[in-house]
Amino acid sequence: MSSWDIKRAKESRVLISTICPPDGKVTYEWAKAWRELQLPEGSDSLIVQALPYGVARNFAIKRTLEQGFAYLFFLDSDIILPRNSVVRLIETKIPLIGCYYTHRYPPYNPCFYGARKNEEGKYERITVNGWNFGDIVPVVFLPAGACLIHRSVFEKMLQADIKKPYEWTLDIDNPTGVSEDFAFSMRALGIGIQPYVHTGIQAKHEVLATCGVRGIEAVTSEA
């Protein structure tokens, strides 16, 4: 391998981080898709269990920076990807970009959103309109379930003194808060980094359901 090839490989190494349920169990379909993912040479994986989402994702950021990976790719344990997803996202050369997937419950709307300010000055989620499948769409709220982030995003956050890029702010005492991935999106926008969704890379969000002899009887209302 030439020095140029070594340099190019280093510039595309990915740490793929999976936030797993406490018992570590995933479906066979997910495990098969994970095994078949195409990743640049020198890439590695990180499984994080039994930590709050924000803490788990911040831990993955720390490992990415410490071990010199060019990218961090979050893959949640209920998202099934086409095998070339990561490579296609890298090819866009966009620092913060995710795959398209929907919620797990009817009417199965896309998981990404725009935003507007309400009368109290708080940002509200709104549907992003005017795009076609295949488009790369700018968004305000980007889900982290299948998301590629270049290390430069984290470096800029450190320079901006953002110590916890991912932080769950939604709570019983703070109903206007947001999930850790949407908080990250807002912080990225705040330092001039636009999040995008690649609607041409369509992932499958596994449905949690109760099944009987006649098929699906009930679907949970979890996102």
Write out pLDDT tens, residues 59-99: 999 999 999 999 999 999 999 999 999 999 999 999 999 99
Mean of pLDDT values over 168-186: 79
List the Cα angle 30/33/39 in 5-degree steps: 130
Domain tally, the chain: 1
| pLDDT 10s digits, 39-55 | 999 999 999 888 889 99
Give yes or no for residue 220 having a pLDDT over 50: no
The CATH number linked to 211 is: 3.90.550.40
| Mean pLDDT, the chain, whole residue set | 87
Whole-number Å distance between alpha carbons of 100 and 129: 14
Say what the pLDDT of residue 8 is. 59
pLDDT at 153 over 70: yes
Amino acid at 141: F
Name the residue with higher pLDDT: 62 or 169: 62
The pTM score is: 0.87
Closest alpha carbon to 178 in 52, 186, 9 = 186
Q: What is the pLDDT of residues 98-111, one digit of tens each?
A: 999 999 888 889 99
* The token pair that represents 187 in the structure block: 């912080």
ω into residue 107 within 30 of 0, thus cis?
yes
pLDDT confidence band for 168 (50 / 70 / 90): confident
Phi, psi dihedral angles at 199 (to 5 degrees)? -75, -5
Express each pLDDT in 111-123 by its tens digit. Answer: 999 998 787 777 7
pLDDT band at 208 (very low <50, low <70, confident <90, very high): low
Q: What is the per-residue pLDDT for 176?
A: 60
Domain that holds residue 19: 3-219
